[in-house]
Amino acid sequence: MAQVKMVGVVGAGQMGAGIAQLVAAANLQVLMSDVDSVALARGMRTIASSLARFVKKGTLAQVIGMHFMNPPPLMQLVEIVRGPATADEVFGTIKNLAERLGKTVTCSRDFPGFIVNRILMPMINEAFYALMEGIGSPQDIDVGMKLGTNQPMGPLTLADFIGLDTCLSIMNVLHKGLGDSKYRPCPLLIQYVDAGWHGRKSGRGVYSYNSSLAWLYDWDVKIFALHRLYHGVKAPIFIILKDANTTIMGIFL
């Protein structure tokens, strides 16, 4: 009889998060997914909170996390998050798993935002402050950061791609978890999210995406995502890779 080694959980709500935690506690690998990135982040926080209560009760001694970048099939990095009681053997097992998936591993202590979001999201938030204060136009801010710091796209374009609602959610986690005013979400970011301007997936963010098929227009970026922006469909239909010698003229569905 085949042995189950990994369990997939679709949906990160109360039931999904509880099932994922239960399976993980049985020493099985768990992949929890949700079409809503905010719901997925909320589910992970629910699991972390529940595990913390178990730790306090002395029933769980080791916790470890894997933070994948979006989109997971294309992004090379996985952050492994170690708890204070995580054994080296557990870390080694998860590191080997990530490398088996073809990922490069960084290790983070268990603090809000880990490494990548701790640095990336305040940069995006500061770009919104620069925009709100009239320091530069969206294009000036993006081109300045792109060419001045050799990034593949500017922070405001990236925010639209990630989702402004997701950026705000992460900033709220940093602000609440770290208690430092420097992580206070920019009022302009809050206004955009309240107005339903969530970025590319909603058709409007910092930039407007008015056509039914919206391209990530920054031609220097290596990843293009094609979205349907009608009938409530928000997930990428497919993803296209572009190298330095290729020009994509158009895609027909």
Catalytic (active-site) positions: 67
- Residue 5 near residue 23 (C-beta atoms within 8 A): no
HSE-CB at 28 with a 13 A cutoff on CA atoms is: 16
Distances (CA, A) of 29 to 4, 24, 25, 32: 9, 6, 9, 10
| Amino acid occupying residue 33 | S
Cα gap 4→171, rounded to integer Å: 37
Residue that has been written with the tokens 């407007």 in this structure: 208
Give the Cβ contact number of residue 222 at 10 Å. Answer: 12
Rounded to whole angstroms, the Cα distance separating 31 from 24 reads 10
Helices then strands, counting H and E runs in the chain, come out as: 8, 8
Structure tokens at 54: 């178990």
Coil vs helix vs strand at 59: coil
Cβ-Cβ contacts under 8 Å for 80 (sequence gap 6 or more): 64, 65, 66, 67, 91, 94, 95, 98, 105, 106, 107, 108
